[in-house]
Structure 1
Amino acid sequence: MRSCIRFPLDNQQLHRIKANFMAIAGMPGVVGAIDGTHIKIIAPSKDEDVFVNRKKVHSINTQIVFDATFNILDVVAKWPGSTHDLRILMESGLRQLFERHHVPVWCHLLGDSGYPCKTS
């Protein structure tokens, strides 16, 4: 059993993840699905307004990446609810893994319209 969450960088593991996404959705090169989810919190006493999300609820916006078999590959759970999903990705270590080519070229994250189509 794994004791921590770590984005896979091993070519064999990435190949297996890509094959799983290809098998269920016919999407080549996908190594993870990414999105933000809001975790409801009690209003903090400091900087309360930045924790209010677009639905007017106090939350932490949490970025999660998972594979085709629903294993969590990456989590960032530190941003106030008003933070856009793209900003969380742009300031994450995950972005650096892709931009510095620690994740091989032709590996992609699949996200909704809150994320741009771009190459690293």
Structure 2
Amino acid sequence: MSGTTAWACTYTDFPLVEIRPDRPVRVWPNQVRGAKAVAIHGERVAFYAGYGEEVDRLTRGELTEASVEPTDGGLLTLPDGHLPGRRRAVSRGSRIYVQAEPFTAWGVVDLSS
């Protein structure tokens, strides 16, 4: 959610959905499957996580009139270079927050910077 706008990637086809109180729901087809968190900044979007080997993947893309177009991606790693392992992920607005076990600190991916 960002302000009064809520964003979601709904199961099973995972379209990106924008819900606002002042206009109809908008839907963009999306190739990213199983994202646990989504961040939006203008026309830029980022998805975190997925299924299987994609569980630690960060995928960035651009919103077009017709779909979400992936631009790049890679595995999200901790400052020491390791994959997060057990983790929590939440998002709000332009940010994705990731907290890896032992769950004492949050890392942030921010599309606005």
TM-score, scaled to structure 2: 0.32
Q: Which has the higher helix share?
A: 1
Q: Which has the higher contact order (CA 8 A, sep 6+)?
A: 1
Q: Which has the larger radius of gyration?
A: 1
